[in-house]
Structure 1
């Protein structure tokens, strides 16, 4: 009998960092944690990126997803990056069917490409770009309970060889990267770690009310990069949380973490 795959919430780093030597050195600890994910040996990867938002859930269905350069201010060559991993159209349909069966409105999107919340970490985990990869969007309402429910609907994929990865950042306030982020990001990160150690029901309830956490709205003025956590955890709601990455980055200011749920 095979065990279901774990799920992950990863802090995916900044922009096209794997292609920029200085940034790659800064994210050396993050890179090491991402490389460890190769051990899971999935059939495919389903990414829930904080960079793709829709009114209702959409599922990437292209067999050969294009690229989405959703960052700005980086060198020109980073807008020519290619990560030519194959998509997973059959699994996209399976994913849509699971969501529909759970009562969610969902559509297939054959045009959507890989955003940097997907292609940057995947280029580190599977640099050969041979792992079938597809994405689902997060909803623009960011509702925690709804995204937990989306994760629950996706849980059967774990038994079918699909590695579900929530790709965001445990701190995401673009106006505060640097020393001014030190106190709020440390406090929120400590709350998150303590909360993820709670029993499942209490953990879900606490995360559904994440805005009561210390510095919650300072660390996530807009919670697009936190919402992927709700989906990843919803798909493994009774699982134990293991922190697999913890670092202070970006000029000593931002404390960030990643988790494995198994």
Structure 2
């Protein structure tokens, strides 16, 4: 067990299986790739495990992947054939899944173990650049139907003790996610919302949480997130590090040529 309190991360994970297509899309993803590959340096230690709150899994209750050897889920369409064969063979951690279940249940939130759930692209596309050797165990935590921001913030608070136990808590989503305007048509909205989001993350802790709970009143909020599943992982990782300062380890003003997207870290990088 480590005494170092690990930071938490909200990662804008990009589109589909992009890390496995760098020959084709590297010019679009170079900055995101570099930011993800820098995370091991930022935290300074190899975590015992990673808990990924993924935008690509929802349940009536919170769900946890509990397989020791999670399979793959190719939850995307229209990509090259080889991307439906890629493997990210990181182990799971049934022990961590059970511990998270206990933490959530003790806090009044039902949580269910799922031994069949595999890694979705929100997990393996984000984690492959961070740990390309797939040698750090990963457990996925779902969102809960209804996508209530306060509920997800509260769950994050319950997860906070894991940070002092060697567990890296990562929320995998996108700070802008409107697939019907994932180009120049979304430029104005993505910039307006991303500006608000970065300003909000810079506020004092109590004010920051209160503002984020009213995210749908932000400029262009519903244009940026017609459905908010790609934003909700941010609520969880903020809750787990609610009193820590935020920083922006990744930001682009012209992602896919036009969009503003950001990732956030809560807590300090290693010296």
TM-score, normalization by structure 2: 0.95
Structure 2 counterpart SS, 1:258:
strand
Partner of 1:200: 205
Structure 2 counterpart SS, 1:27:
helix
Partner of 2:117: 112
Distance in 2 of aligned mates of 1:48 and 1:86: 16
Structure 1: stretches of 5+ with no match in the other structure: none
Distance in 1 of aligned mates of 2:3 and 2:164: 8
Structure 2 counterpart SS, 1:9:
strand
8 Å contact kept, 2:3–2:165: no
Partner of 1:60: 65
Distance in 1 of aligned mates of 2:93 and 2:265: 23
| Match runs of 1:121-132 below 5 Å | 121-132=126-137
* Residue among 83, 91, 97 paired with 1:78: 83
Partner of 1:35: 37
8 Å contact kept, 1:26–1:249: no
Distance in 1 of aligned mates of 2:85 and 2:58: 23
* Residue among 235, 238, 242 paired with 2:243: 238
Number of residue equivalences = 262
The CA deviation at 1:250 is 4.3
Partner of 2:11: 10
* Residue among 252, 261, 267 paired with 1:256: 261
| Match runs of 1:209-220 below 5 Å | 209-220=214-225
Could you say what the CA RMSD is over the residues aligned between the two structures, in angstroms? Answer: 1.0
8 Å contact kept, 2:4–2:166: no
The superposition leaves residues 132-162 of structure 1 with CA deviations (integer Å, 9 ceiling, x where unpaired) of: 1110000121100000001011111101100
Structure 1 counterpart SS, 2:181:
coil
The CA deviation at 1:127 is 0.7
Structure 2: stretches of 5+ with no match in the other structure: none
Distance in 2 of aligned mates of 1:113 and 1:214: 36
The CA deviation at 1:236 is 0.3
| Match runs of 1:116-195 below 5 Å | 116-195=121-200
TM-score, normalization by structure 1: 0.98
8 Å contact kept, 1:177–1:250: no
